[in-house]
Amino acid sequence: MKQRTMGRNGAETSAIGIGAMSFSNFYGPTDEARSHAILEAALELGVSHIDTSNVYGMGKSEEAIGSFLKARPGTRDRFHIATKAGIARDSEGNRYFDNTAEHLEAELDKSLARMGIDCVDLFYIHRRDAGMPVEEATGNLATLVEKGKARAIGFSEIAPSSLRRAAAVHPIAAVQSEYSLSTRSPELGLVQACAELGTALVAFSPVGRSLLTDHPLPKEVIPELGFLKANPRFMEPNLSANLTITDGFRALAAEMGVPAAALAIAWLLHRGDQVIPIPGTRSVEHFRELVAGCDLELTAADMDRIEQVLPLGWAHGDRYNEGQWVGPERYC
């Protein structure tokens, strides 16, 4: 397994990680056994980075990781474990963002208990509280490093300008952002800022929430998925248009003799040494296809062919609806 660095002078991890939102029911029903099977395959294939959050399945994702580590003594040190906090709900169930030191530490303590570990390798703020200066939020994260509860810190879905301000306070090991052939907005500043600062760009949804695979989610399943049924790219007529366009990508992958998902991962890895994709899946077979992307060496001609079938701006519909855009920082 190829290795990449989680931040300048940071920990070495596998070039690809596991997006553990798939250990909850976000993209369809799953269970602990299926999550454990993915983690078992990760050990076999040398995939070390696991990226989870306290809100994935309201702790279900972290609990699955914890039960696996408990069942497999001695495997903790074979994984680089990241989790997040900062999304909260009030007494009426309304979502808000809390970046206070008290909230972050309390939530991290719960995460550590669910996973049965005493320290995470990376702790992110999941969503920035726009009312708090990013410098203050960074200081709150840094305190958890000083206390030995996190080895490194990061942010999810922040703008390049916020990253630079945060990095002036404390080294930022990673920024998590959606990045793929279907979402290329990070190339308008975030990719460059991460390279400049030595920050890893942890790319979630690297296969376009299934659009960049050989088997996109069936149309009849989408109405059952709370997030996707309201997502512009998965609503008609955008969905049909996106499936038709990505048929060309699937055909290209078949011509090259590789799974479409592997080709999508390989394209991302060729965008910069700081990029670490974290695909999620409930299938060991699909996980192996994703990991196979790490072994693909793409030439400049290959990259050009990919760009020809999926040129910049090909996707129909925004990546989020207005409600889903609450929290991520827009910068382009």
Q: What would the two tokens of residue 318 be?
A: 């925004």
Residue 251, number of CB atoms within 10 A of its CB: 12
92 Cβ partners below 8 Å, 6+ apart? Answer: none
Specify whether 56 is catalytic.
Answer: yes
144 Cβ partners below 8 Å, 6+ apart? Answer: 104, 105, 108, 123, 150, 153
- What phi-psi label fits residue 102: left (phi over 0), alpha (psi between -120 and 50 degrees) or beta? alpha
Burial code of 225-234, b = ≥16 C-beta within 10 A, e = fewer? beebeebbbb
**What does the alpha-carbon distance between residue 291 and residue 312 come to, in Å, rounded to a whole number?**
25
Task: Give the residues across from 125 on adjacent strands.
Answer: 85, 155
Q: Using alpha carbons, select from 250, 243, 183 the residue that is nearest to residue 214.
A: 250
Quick one: how far is CA 188 from the chain centroid? 19
Q: Using alpha carbons, select from 285, 265, 287 the residue that is nearest to residue 277.
A: 265
**What does the alpha-carbon distance between residue 124 and residue 49 come to, in Å, rounded to a whole number?**
14
**What does the alpha-carbon distance between residue 172 and residue 311 come to, in Å, rounded to a whole number?**
32
**What does the alpha-carbon distance between residue 45 and residue 292 come to, in Å, rounded to a whole number?**
10
Residue in 56, 124, 179, 320 annotated catalytic: 56
One-letter amino acid for residue 17 of the chain: G
DSSP letters of 120-161?
Answer: BSEEEESS--TTS-HHHHHHHHHHHHHTTSBS-EEEES--HH
Query: Which residues are annotated as catalytic?
Result: 56
